[in-house]
Chain A
Amino acid sequence: MKPADTLLTPRPARERVRDASARSAVTVAGLIGLVALAGVAVFLGVEGWPGLTARTGLPLQAANFWALAWPLAFGSFWAAVLGLGLAVPVAIGVALAQTWYVPRWAGRFLGATFDILAAIPSVVYGLWGLMIIAPRLAPVYAWLGAHLSWCPLFAGPPSASGRTILTAALVLAVMVLPVMAALCREVFAQTPRTTVEAALALGATRWEVIRLAVWPTGKAGVVSGAMLGFGRAVGETMVTAMVISPAPFLVGFGLINSTNPNTIAAFIAQTFPESHGVEVATLLALGLVLFVITFVVNVVARRIVRATGGRV
């Protein structure tokens, strides 16, 4: 065959079909994701609408939807933020240790151990928090209440049972740690070798290599990991439902006293079994609020990463 002929000959049909089917498969997968997301939002909006506008028949005899939703939204957000605040530094530390400090075999062992944490069901975490962690933290809270009560975060009286939002946040932190540590580990391991060598050759110590080369390139991945963790923590039901003994309509930052805000997810789980009519619609509307919180936090975090560019 002459070269000119090969230019005009169509590629084999099988090859074209394979290419086209791969393209449509990927497109469909993407669309399914979008449709599912939109579907959930529409369902929650439509079914929850009566609850959003209702004046009577709301759970806890709330005056209106927002009187009920605001404290719960606050509780969800506050518990997730506390959990992340505890988990993010540990996740970064563990990931740095695995990639830059300990020998390779030890890093792998550490990684496998953390991955096991991810396989534990959340109800087990809830039990662990309720029966093991809370009683052991009660004396700590008593001490904090005695010595740091001038700080609003540690305002008393300290919970005698240890079942506080801080205990719940601690359990949440352990729960979200594995996925965050794994993501951080991946991004830290992918630091360009050329940048690492540039830092080393200038006489950087290991810590300085991390500050100059590893952190700037891995930062965006750490934020992604934190967002995954936030998503899991803000929607976590069992841990908060089991650990926290909530006070209705409470909005407060106190970490150690026994009056704690409830979270949306826990409230839905606790209230749903005995709900009818408007009450069910209210719970669905609360779900929509949770959905919006997660969405907004994600968008804001991504904006921050983009705006700060290289610097932190």
Chain B
Amino acid sequence: MTFELALRAPELTGAGHGRDDTANHRLAVVGLTASYGRSPAITEVSLSLESRSVTAFIGPSGCGKSTLLRTFNRLHEVTPGARVTGAVRLDGIDLYDPRVDPVTVRRRIGMVFQRPNPFPTLSIRDNVLAGIRLQYRRLRPSGADELVEAMLTAVGLWDEVKDCLGRPGISLSGGQQQRLCIARVIAVAPDVILMDEPCSSLDPVSTAAIEELMVNLGRDYTVVVVTHNLQQAARVSRKTAFFTVAGAGEPGRLVEYGDTAGLFSAPSKAQTADYLAGRFG
């Protein structure tokens, strides 16, 4: 892989982290329905995500929460036959406006996946820099080193990998790989970070590390986490949305959305209470 690495842009001085810390990026979903072919996976969702905080999406399998998440960075439409109606607004602009390029959307809304997916042929260092290089952002040579160190430090990986940055990203353990993937996302300083069950393939120790990271990221970023782990939602999120599905072939729906503490202690809908109590799903 050959990308040019040339002069730096002014915003990449200092810690090499170009995020505008004054921005509060709000993501608002309006009447959104996402389908595969003719069958909607999730329908009529409207909610507004708080900036600089973690929002959790919970619900039984098949309720469409991951599908919903994938509409936020326009990754849903990559699947053949997938369709979206309604609107997702980032700072007031509809991401599905015909003038909006999905590639641009994905450069501002980062995603962490269920399975760690570092680029198999790239080194640890190049994995961190992959997004920057895709965006043709310019870095001075030492800027790249600074950025790699800052990002790997931010995800708590620096001390573990600082002596082997040239090794392939996939030589790391699963938990380390997932942290590398998070470093890759925050290196491009996105407005929003989406996480699709980021701990579901990890052991408890790695899960704890990623959860701590989520809490930290929530201070600076608008973070959305899809999770099957209710305790995780309770631990890391400020707000929680609960989705459910009536049965196979039915579309998922948003049941309840509110402060995590309130939703877990005193859910306003019986369905939510049943799910939290483990009576279904």
Chain A interface (Cβ within 8 Å of chain B)?
A: 104, 192, 194-195, 197-205, 208, 211-213, 216-217, 309-311
Known contacts A104-B80, A194-B117, A195-B119; decide if A212 and B75 are in contact (CB<8 Å). Answer: no
Task: Check B134 against A202 for contact (C-beta < 8 Å).
Answer: yes
18 pairs, CB–CB < 8 Å, chain A vs chain B = A192-B117, A192-B120, A195-B119, A197-B113, A198-B113, A198-B117, A198-B181, A199-B119, A199-B130, A199-B134, A201-B110, A202-B107, A203-B106, A204-B103, A213-B119, A217-B121, A309-B121, A311-B1
Apart from A197-B113, A309-B121, A310-B168: 6 A-B pairs, beta carbons within 8 A: A192-B120, A194-B117, A203-B108, A203-B188, A217-B120, A310-B122
Residues of A within 8 A of B80 (CB): 104
Residues of B within 8 A of A200 (CB): 75, 78, 106
- Closest chain-A Cβ to B117's Cβ sits at a distance in Å of 4
Per the bound structure, the CA–CA distance linking A182 and B117 in Å amounts to: 28
Task: Check B184 against A202 for contact (C-beta < 8 Å).
Answer: yes
Task: Check B119 against A212 for contact (C-beta < 8 Å).
Answer: yes
Task: Check B135 against A194 for contact (C-beta < 8 Å).
Answer: no
Residues of A within 8 A of B122 (CB): 212, 310
Task: Check A198 against B134 for contact (C-beta < 8 Å).
Answer: no
Task: Check B103 against A205 for contact (C-beta < 8 Å).
Answer: yes
Task: Check B121 against A203 for contact (C-beta < 8 Å).
Answer: no
Per the bound structure, the CA–CA distance linking A194 and B121 in Å amounts to: 14
- Closest chain-A Cβ to B9's Cβ sits at a distance in Å of 17
Per the bound structure, the CA–CA distance linking A113 and B166 in Å amounts to: 44
Q: Is B131 an interface residue (CB 8 A)?
A: yes
- Closest chain-A Cβ to B61's Cβ sits at a distance in Å of 19
- A-B contacts at CB below 8 angstroms, number: 74
Chain B CB within 10 Å, residue with most, of A199, A200, A202, A311: A202
Residues of A within 8 A of B199 (CB): none
Contact residues of A: prevailing secondary structure: helix
Task: Check A198 against B75 for contact (C-beta < 8 Å).
Answer: no
Residues of A within 8 A of B185 (CB): 202
Q: Is B111 an interface residue (CB 8 A)?
A: yes
Known contacts A200-B75, A310-B122; decide if A208 and B134 are in contact (CB<8 Å). Answer: yes
| CB-contacts of B70-127 with A (<8 A) | 73, 75, 78, 80, 103-108, 110-111, 113, 115, 117-122
Task: Check A212 against B184 for contact (C-beta < 8 Å).
Answer: no
- Closest chain-A Cβ to B72's Cβ sits at a distance in Å of 11
Residues of A within 8 A of B78 (CB): 197, 200
Smallest Cβ-Cβ distance to B78: which chain A residue: A200
Chain B CB within 10 Å, residue with most, of A197, A201, A203, A216: A201
Residues of B within 8 A of A201 (CB): 73, 75, 106, 110-111, 113
Task: Check A202 against B130 for contact (C-beta < 8 Å).
Answer: yes
Smallest Cβ-Cβ distance to A217: which chain B residue: B120
Residues of B within 8 A of A213 (CB): 119
Residues of B within 8 A of A208 (CB): 134
- Closest chain-B Cβ to A156's Cβ sits at a distance in Å of 38
**Which one, B103, B118, B121, contacts A311 given CB within 8 A?**
B121
Per the bound structure, the CA–CA distance linking A202 and B180 in Å amounts to: 14
Task: Check B134 against A195 for contact (C-beta < 8 Å).
Answer: no
Smallest Cβ-Cβ distance to A206: which chain B residue: B103
Per the bound structure, the CA–CA distance linking A280 and B251 in Å amounts to: 77
- Closest chain-A Cβ to B13's Cβ sits at a distance in Å of 23
Task: Check A203 against B131 for contact (C-beta < 8 Å).
Answer: yes
Residues of A within 8 A of B121 (CB): 216-217, 309-311
Chain B CB within 10 Å, residue with most, of A195, A198, A204, A212: A198
